[in-house]
Amino acid sequence: MVSAQDLLSMVDDGNTKTHDLTIATFKTTRLINFHTIETVGPRTLDFRISHRFGAINSKGYNAWGIDGPVNIRLSLEYSPDGRFMFGIGRSSYQKMVDGFLKWKLMRQRDDNSMPMTVTLFAGMYRNALKNQIVNGFDYFEHESSRLSYNFQILIGRKFSPSFSFQVAPWYVHYNMVTAISDKNDMYGISGLFRLKFSARSAITAEYAYRMNKYTNAKNYDSMGIGYEIETGGHVFQVHLTNSFGLDENQFLPFTDSKWNDAGIRLGFNVSRVFTL
């Protein structure tokens, strides 16, 4: 039976004997929706559950989004050495199946000889919906039409024991787009921070800016604010976000609701790690 332990020892850099490496810049590998620079510790498996309710502006009949529709993602993520990490997941929205790789290219040190951590991220996604006819054509005629990709460079720094910040240029590519005027490539930059105010609690926030015009459909920048608490081997994150999608190829380019008309939704993430 795996005993609960402080997750500060799990969100590690793969070499616990090297004390000058800055550890636990963020508590987990995700903040709200966005990936952080973190990987799990050596020989560590992370089981994650992410859940998003319906929009608050669906009003009282829908219990302000609690009745749904909801989106749920389950994933398993593993690192053999605390530096390289891979994972697979499945979310209910668009029946999306995803896989990703992360690698810590550079690691922050306490003496500032390396002032930041840089992590490389690559994700691939498969839309598993049944074949769909769009404008008289089979949208998923070819298997490759179901695939999309995301690449990011995550750059983060722990400025103090209580404050961490990260920026990340990102790029999303869809093999197949809906309209002939849509572009296959989307790119932008995201930012996020974590402000710790007690031994096991923190306030979090994230925002993604979309830099190019890739569709005539109305979409908005993904944004979230949250509260994070560690409770005996688990990290529980509760938040408000305008994004329904739980995969990078969904929420980065295709968030279709906005904050200023209460198009936001309650959500939570639960992370449980196991040493193998």
Look at residue 144 in the predicted model and tell me its pLDDT. 95
Number of domains in the chain: 1
Give the alpha-carbon dihedral of 247, 72, 7, 193, to 10 degrees.
50
How does residue 15 score in pLDDT terms, banded at 50, 70 and 90?
A: very low
Residue 197: which CATH number? 2.40.160.40
Q: Contact 10/29 with Cβ under 8 angstroms? A: no
Q: Contact 245/267 with Cβ under 8 angstroms? A: no
* Residue 246 Rama label (left phi>0; alpha psi -120 to 50; beta): alpha
How does residue 13 score in pLDDT terms, banded at 50, 70 and 90?
A: very low
Say which range, 73-77, 120-124, 166-170, 196-200, has the weakest mean pLDDT: 196-200
How does residue 11 score in pLDDT terms, banded at 50, 70 and 90?
A: low
Domain presence at residue 258: yes
What is the value of pTM for the model shown? Answer: 0.90
Domain presence at residue 1: no
Q: 23: number of CA atoms within 13 Å, CB side?
A: 19
Look at residue 8 in the predicted model and tell me its pLDDT. 45
Average pLDDT over residues 227-240: 90
Note the residue count of the chain. Answer: 276
- Domain region containing 62: 7-275
Tens digit of each residue's pLDDT (9 = 90 or more) over 143-182: 999 999 999 999 999 999 999 999 999 999 999 998 889 9
